Structure 1
Amino acid sequence: MMGIEEIRKIIPHRPPMLLVDRVTELVPRRRLVGSLTVTGDRPLPMSLLLESWGQAALVLIRHDRPMPDVLTDGVPVAGVFEHIRFGRPVLPGETVEHHVTMNRLVADTAFVTGESFVGATVVLRVGRLVGAMRSVESLRASLDAAALERQAAADREAAPGHPAAVVSGTATSGVAR
């Protein structure tokens, strides 16, 4: 139904981080079946298995509102993953099939669940993913604000007499001796 080129028109991921090869079933705003064939000579790391499932979920969430460019279309953000269960590793040469179900979509926030299989064996269960879209500007502003707060906290800690800078009753430059 959908190959890599069609998937690239929907989500912003690109090789080597594009981790969905095919979509074989898509029922708009309801469910999707997508897959990844593992290449190389090592098992697929569990973190990349979860990332691959998340990308399949993003194809379901955004298929009718493509977002191939994060600078203009927004950035997908995984807010919450809950009740994650991993099964056996996915080995080189195997194809993992992701089943994703959309439970709810509210504006740009989606609630999805699902599983991943190699053959009939469950290799991943996702109890819930809450994902959202954010503009690049809002994320940059959040990062800038967080960076300023971290610097202010570091400056406060480095100040002579600050409780974090006092070691054995003498003020230091913030480095414990």
Structure 2
Amino acid sequence: MLNIKEIMDIIPHRHPFLLIDRIEELEPGKRAVGTKCVTYNEPFFQGHFPAEPVMPGVLIIEALAQVGTVAMLSIPENKGKIGFFGAINSAKFKKKVVPGDVLTLEVEIIKQKGPMGVGSAKAYVDGKVAAVAELTFAIG
């Protein structure tokens, strides 16, 4: 398990854009499972939406990408590098994510060639799928 300080040693994201709180499982270069505790104090809830706060889907995808980035930057040859989006494919949102939810974020690296790769990503709340996507990344 990695805590927030250990995560920040691996990826460059910082508040308010660091969207993962903990890594529960890690197989460097292969897969990672992380969590995000969603609170009403998140800055995006001020405008999305004041009367019915919902975590934006693009930020759920970003949180998944950050978990995948932890997996990829945990291997020694990628230390100190950055993960960039190459594509987001087949993104589907199945459940609203609201304050009080704990997002479980799972990313499995399914393909890699050189600095490019693809991750299969799923986000869950209480064991129910909230979002799924295929994320293409570049390590640079």
TM-score under structure 1 normalisation?
Answer: 0.68
Give the alignment partner of residue 132 of structure 1, picking from 114, 117, 138: 138
Q: Distance in 2 between matches of 1:81 and 1:105?
A: 16
Amino acid at match of 1:23: I
Q: CA deviation at 1:59?
A: 0.6
Give the alignment partner of residue 107 of structure 1, picking from 89, 114, 131: 114
Q: For residue 128 of structure 2, what is the aligned residue in structure 1?
A: 121
Amino acid at match of 2:9: K
Aligned pairs (5 A) from 1:27-106: 27-40=27-40, 42-64=53-75, 65-67=78-80, 73=81, 75-106=82-113
Deviation by residue 1:66-104 (Cα, 9 ceiling, x = unmatched): 32xxxxx4x422011111110111110111001111112
Q: Distance in 1 between matches of 2:74 and 2:29?
A: 9
Runs of 4+ in structure 1 off by over 6 angstroms are: none
TM-score under structure 2 normalisation?
Answer: 0.84
Give the structure with the higher percent helix: 1
Report the structure number with the largest CA radius of gyration: 1
Q: Distance in 1 between matches of 2:32 and 2:123?
A: 11
3-state SS, counterpart of residue 10 of structure 2: coil
Deviation by residue 1:129-156 (Cα, 9 ceiling, x = unmatched): 110023xxxxxxxxxxxxxxxxxxxxxx
Uncovered stretches (5+) of structure 1, i.e. residues with no partner: 68-72, 135-177
Uncovered stretches (5+) of structure 2, i.e. residues with no partner: 42-52
CA contact (8 A) 2:121 2:135 kept: no
Q: CA RMSD in A?
A: 1.4
- Size of the alignment, in residue pairs? 127
Q: Distance in 2 between matches of 1:9 and 1:29?
A: 16
Q: Distance in 1 between matches of 2:87 and 2:119?
A: 11
Q: Distance in 2 between matches of 1:76 and 1:28?
A: 14
Give the structure with the higher percent strand: 2
Q: Distance in 2 between matches of 1:14 and 1:114?
A: 22
